[in-house]
């Protein structure tokens, strides 16, 4: 892994490369799909340093007595698997957390609800173990439930209802089963921490499916085309963005609490 920090620093005519110390074994590794999902958490870390490896950045920092390594891998299972394998190869964390946004399938779970999945499944019926930590999340209202990982965004309330009935899953995302699978293969302890970004009864704008690149960045061209084709989508995008910022703030606070409560 290349231990160089994010870029050079100029001092007069001389260019100095800022070099971070070599990676140390992390206590906790966190895999997210989008920068927004973990940006607030990164701001809470101390002694932050960045490593570049295999076209992905690994952000390492300290939270109280724990070393935390974070990778924003992009959307989908293939990206999540790659990010998890990178974390394990370079930082060897004792725990891996799949963290980020999720959609509710259970009508009883509301937007901004915090969820600690107690089981992760996929469409093929595979089940993945989640480490049982009874005290995790103590002191903050949250729920537990079954998380289903799928291969595309679920935008319509009708589709959410069908998945709820078919899989008896409470929430849905596009990455957790891949992270859990790698952890099972490598015998690493796995957890999920999710915040609900959209409720089971809500329909998302159809353009959402085309807006996210696999890297997790917004596709500007797709966004512009969406606004051109449906001007009212601009208001929808703004509402989604504001709600995502709210959700990210709640997620960061809850993740920080979970980091404190995790055993070594």
Report how far residue 41's alpha carbon sits from residue 157's, in angstroms, rounded to the nearest whole number: 30
Report how far residue 200's alpha carbon sits from residue 132's, in angstroms, rounded to the nearest whole number: 26
Written as tens digits, the pLDDT of the chain (264 aa) is: 444 444 444 434 443 444 455 567 899 999 999 898 999 999 999 999 999 887 899 999 999 999 999 999 999 999 999 999 999 999 999 999 999 999 999 999 999 999 999 999 999 999 999 999 989 999 999 999 999 999 998 989 999 999 999 999 999 999 999 999 999 999 999 999 999 999 999 887 665 555 544 444 444 444 445 444 555 555 666 567 788 889 999 999 999 999 999 987
Half-sphere exposure of 159 (CA within 13 A, CB side): 11
pTM of the model: 0.83
Task: Tell me the domain boundaries of the chain.
Answer: 4-12+23-261
Per-residue pLDDT, 167: 97
| H or E element at residue 79 | helix 77-91
Report how far residue 23's alpha carbon sits from residue 2's, in angstroms, rounded to the nearest whole number: 9
For residue 132, report the phi and psi dihedrals to the nearest 5 degrees.
-90, 110
Architecture of domain 4-12+23-261: 3-Layer(aba) Sandwich (3.40)
Per-residue pLDDT, 242: 82
Contact 5, 19 (CB under 8 A): yes
Half-sphere exposure of 44 (CA within 13 A, CB side): 23
Per-residue pLDDT, 24: 73
Report how far residue 80's alpha carbon sits from residue 84's, in angstroms, rounded to the nearest whole number: 6
Chain centroid to CA 74: how far? 9
Per-residue pLDDT, 235: 61
Per-residue pLDDT, 218: 45
């Amino acid at each position: 892994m290349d231990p160089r920090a994010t870029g050079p620093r100029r001092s007069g005519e001389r260019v100095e490369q800022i070099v971070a110390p070599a990676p140390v074994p992390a206590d906790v590794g966190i895999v997210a799909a989008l920068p927004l999902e973990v940006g607030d958490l990164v701001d809470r870390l101390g002694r932050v340093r960045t490593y570049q490896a295999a076209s992905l950045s690994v952000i390492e920092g300290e939270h109280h007595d724990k070393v935390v390594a974070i990778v924003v891998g992009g959307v989908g299972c293939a990206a999540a698997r790659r990010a998890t394998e990178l974390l394990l190869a370079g930082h060897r964390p004792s725990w891996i957390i799949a963290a980020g946004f999720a959609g509710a399938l259970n009508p009883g779970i509301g937007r901004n609800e915090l969820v600690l999945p107690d089981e992760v499944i996929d469409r093929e019926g595979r089940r993945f173990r989640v480490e049982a930590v009874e005290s995790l999340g103590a002191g903050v209202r949250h729920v537990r439930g079954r998380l289903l990982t799928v291969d595309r965004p679920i935008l319509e309330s009708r589709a959410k209802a069908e998945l709820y009935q078919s899989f008896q899953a409470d929430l849905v995302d596009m990455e957790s089963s891949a992270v859990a699978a790698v952890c099972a293969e490598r015998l690493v302890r796995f957890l999920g921490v999710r915040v609900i970004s959209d409720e089971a009864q809500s329909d998302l704008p159809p353009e959402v499916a085309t807006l996210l690149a696999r890297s997790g960045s917004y596709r500007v061209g797709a966004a512009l085309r969406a606004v051109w084709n449906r001007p009212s989508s601009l208001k929808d995008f703004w509402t989604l963005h504001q709600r995502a910022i709210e959700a990210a703030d709640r997620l960061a606070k809850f993740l920080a609490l979970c980091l404190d409560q995790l055993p070594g």
